[in-house]
Structure 1
C-alpha cells in the first residue's frame, strides 16, 4: 500500500471517529445480540436464563481501532409475563480512541399463545463517552505533499472536557406469528447531547426494523423441530439521521449447524459488504433445554474502500441458555421464541 493511500485511509479513520457521534455500530450477527437489536426480545427464548457476548473487529487491516463488544444476560420470568435483562456495550473508534461505555436495563412484556406471541420492550441506561484529544491530528500538522508531520505540535486548543455521561432510552415491539417474526425498535428516544465542546450535538434516534420467515424443508418438522432442516430468509433495516443500512440474506439451519449468507448496503444504498456466518449449537437435546451457541462471521468489504485495504471485518459470539431445575416454563411456547428463527 502506498504512503499516500495510507495517509488517505488514516484520514478516513479519523473522520470515522468524529462521525461516530451520528451513527451506532451494527452487528452482522444481529441474531446473536438480541437485546441490542430490540429490547422487546428480552426474555424471548426457550429457557429461563440466557447470556450472550459478541465482539466485532472492523476493518482490521487499517491502522487505528474500530472494535465493539456487547454482553447481555436476560431472564424469562413467567410471573412478569415477559423478561428482564442487563446489557453492557463498549466501543472504541478511530485514531482518537473515541470510547463509549453503556450499561442498560431492559424489560419486555409478552402476550400470546402457541401460534402468536407479541412482545413490548423498554430499555434505560447511562452512557459514558470519552476521547483522547492528544491523539487528534489537526490541519497545521499535515503537509499537503508528505502527509502527517511526525513530532509536530498543533496550535489548536482542544476543549477542556474529554468525558461525558448521559441518560439513554429505547423501546421496541416484536411479534411471532407461526413461521413469521417481525419487529421494530427505536433507540436514543431522548436524543442525548454528546457534545464535548458545549455546542449541542444530539445523538439521532436509531430506528431498526427486522423480519424473518422460517421455511421448513421437511414434511415432518412439526414432530421434531430440532432435527428438521429450515431455510430462514431475513431482512434488517437501520436508519439513523441520514445514514441507512439494509442487510438481506438467508440461513440454512439443520440440527446444530447454521450457515448464512448476507448482503449489506451502506449509505445511499451503495454496496457495503458480503457476510458469511457459521453458527454451531452445542449441548442441544438436554432435558433442561441447555444450549451453547458459538458463532463466527466475516464481512468482505465491497464499498469503495474495498477488501484489499481493509482486510474485512470479523465477529465472534458466544451464547448460552437453559431452564432452571424443575422449571414450569419448559417448552411452554413450543419453539415460538426468536431463537428458533436463527
Structure 2
C-alpha cells in the first residue's frame, strides 16, 4: 500500500510538472473557446446576444491519480452606448482549481469591462479594448503534506513538524489583465465572422509563493487568439479557433475546427450539432462535440495524451464538460434589433 501510494504521488508530481511547464504557468482548458475572458478580456461581449453565461469543468488524470479538477464560470452583459453603434460589456470571471494530494487550491474572482468601438457605419466592424482585474487566493492542506523531517528510522511520524518555514497555508493577491481585439463580418451579406486579438495577463506581476518571496513573482503571459466562422451554406458552417500563449519559458499552442449543421429552419434551427477536434501541440489530441438547443449549449471533449507522458498517463488526459447560455433581453435597445453589433 505504501509503495502504491508513493507511486501515485510520484506520477502526480511528474504529470503536474509537465502540465504546468513552469512553476508559474496558468491553468488551461481544452474548450478554451468556452472561457473567452481567460483568453482575453476584450473578447467579452463578442457574441450574438445581450447576455452570456458559460461554465467549463475539467477533470484531468483523476482516473488513476488525484491530479487536477478545474472549473471556470464567466458571465457577460452587453449594451449599446448612446445613439451610435458603440457597445460596452461588463463581465465577471470566476475560476476554481484543485490539484494534487495536498489539495493546492486556486480561487479567482475577476470583474471585467470591455469597450467596443465601431469602425464602420455599413457593417459590423469593431475594435475592442478590455480590462480584467480582481482577487486571487491560493491555499494548501498542510495536513496532507509529508516531508523528510517526519520520517525517523524509515518510519513516518505525523506528530513531527514538517520543517517548512511558511507561516500560513493560504495567501491572496490582486491580479490584472488587459487586451485588445478586432471583430468583423465579411463575405456575402457579411454572414462570415472573424476575430483576432492579443492580451497581456498578470500585468502587475503578483507574488506567487507561500513563502511570499519577491523572487517568485508570477510571470506575465501573452495570449494571441483568433477565430473565424465560415458559412458552407445556409444549413452548415465551420468554426475555427486557435490560441498561442507564452508565459516565462513556457509556450502553448492549441487550435482546431468544428463543423456545425443546423437541423430545421436555418434562421431558427431546432438545434445545431457541432463535431470536430483540436490539437494542443506536443501534448494532446482533443475530439469535441457540442449541441446548441437555444438558448443553451452543451459541449464535451476529451484529451488523448500524445506527449512523452503517454506511458505514465496511459494515454488518458482530461475530460471537459461545458454548459453555456446566450440570450436576448426584452428591452428596446437589445442587440437583437441591431444590424451592426459585436458578434461571433
Pairwise TM-score range, normalised by the shorter structure: 0.7 to 0.9
Q: What is the aligned residue count? A: 313
Whole-Å Cα distance in 1 between the matches of residues 219 and 145 of structure 2?
24
- TM-score normalised over the length of structure 1: 0.83
| Aligned with 1:273 (options 284, 293, 304) | 284
Which residue of structure 2 lines up, in the alignment, with residue 204 of structure 1? 219
Which residue of structure 2 lines up, in the alignment, with residue 77 of structure 1? 79
Whole-Å Cα distance in 1 between the matches of residues 41 and 94 of structure 2?
13
| Aligned with 2:199 (options 164, 185, 188) | 185
Whole-Å Cα distance in 1 between the matches of residues 19 and 244 of structure 2?
23
TM-fit CA distance, 1:132: 1.8
TM-fit CA distance, 1:207: 1.4
Relative to structure 1, is the Cα distance of residues 6 and 96 closer, same or farther in structure 2, using a 3 angstrom cutoff?
closer
Whole-Å Cα distance in 1 between the matches of residues 16 and 240 of structure 2?
36
Q: Deviations over 1:10-33 (max 9, x none)?
A: 442575799774011111111111
Which residue of structure 1 lines up, in the alignment, with residue 49 of structure 2? 47
TM-fit CA distance, 1:104: 1.0
TM-fit CA distance, 1:206: 1.7
Q: Deviations over 1:171-206 (max 9, x none)?
A: 111112333311111111101012211322111112
Whole-Å Cα distance in 2 between the matches of residues 150 and 254 of structure 1?
59
- TM-score normalised over the length of structure 2: 0.82
TM-fit CA distance, 1:319: 0.6
Whole-Å Cα distance in 1 between the matches of residues 21 and 279 of structure 2?
24
Q: Does the residue aligned with 1:60 lie in a helix, a strand or coil?
A: coil
Unmatched 5+ stretches in structure 2: 187-192, 263-271
Which residue of structure 1 lines up, in the alignment, with residue 268 of structure 2? none
TM-fit CA distance, 1:169: 0.4
Q: Does the residue aligned with 2:274 lie in a helix, a strand or coil?
A: strand
1:83-232 → structure 2 map (5 Å cutoff): 83-112=89-118, 113=120, 114-139=123-148, 156-177=163-184, 178=186, 179-200=193-214, 201-218=216-233, 221=234, 228-232=235-239
Whole-Å Cα distance in 1 between the matches of residues 60 and 239 of structure 2?
26
Which residue of structure 2 lines up, in the alignment, with residue 322 of structure 1? 327
TM-fit CA distance, 1:158: 4.0
Q: Deviations over 1:80-114 (max 9, x none)?
A: 72200112111111222111111111000002242
How much is the aligned-residue C-alpha RMSD, in angstroms? 2.7
Q: Deviations over 1:228-266 (max 9, x none)?
A: 31123332111111111111211112221111211112x
Q: Does the residue aligned with 2:14 lie in a helix, a strand or coil?
A: helix
8 Å CA contact retained: 1:61, 1:312:
no
Whole-Å Cα distance in 2 between the matches of residues 32 and 298 of structure 1?
15
Q: Does the residue aligned with 2:10 lie in a helix, a strand or coil?
A: helix
Which residue of structure 2 lines up, in the alignment, with residue 225 of structure 1? none
Whole-Å Cα distance in 2 between the matches of residues 82 and 18 of structure 1?
34
1:301 aligns with 2:311: no
8 Å CA contact retained: 2:111, 2:132:
yes
Relative to structure 1, is the Cα distance of residues 231 and 5 closer, same or farther in structure 2, using a 3 angstrom cutoff?
same
Whole-Å Cα distance in 2 between the matches of residues 30 and 237 of structure 1?
11
Relative to structure 1, is the Cα distance of residues 19 and 302 closer, same or farther in structure 2, using a 3 angstrom cutoff?
closer
Relative to structure 1, is the Cα distance of residues 325 and 122 closer, same or farther in structure 2, using a 3 angstrom cutoff?
same
Q: Deviations over 1:271-326 (max 9, x none)?
A: 2000011111102xxxxxxx211111111111122175363211111111211114
TM-fit CA distance, 1:67: 1.0
| Aligned with 1:244 (options 243, 251, 257) | 251
Whole-Å Cα distance in 1 between the matches of residues 341 and 291 of structure 2?
18
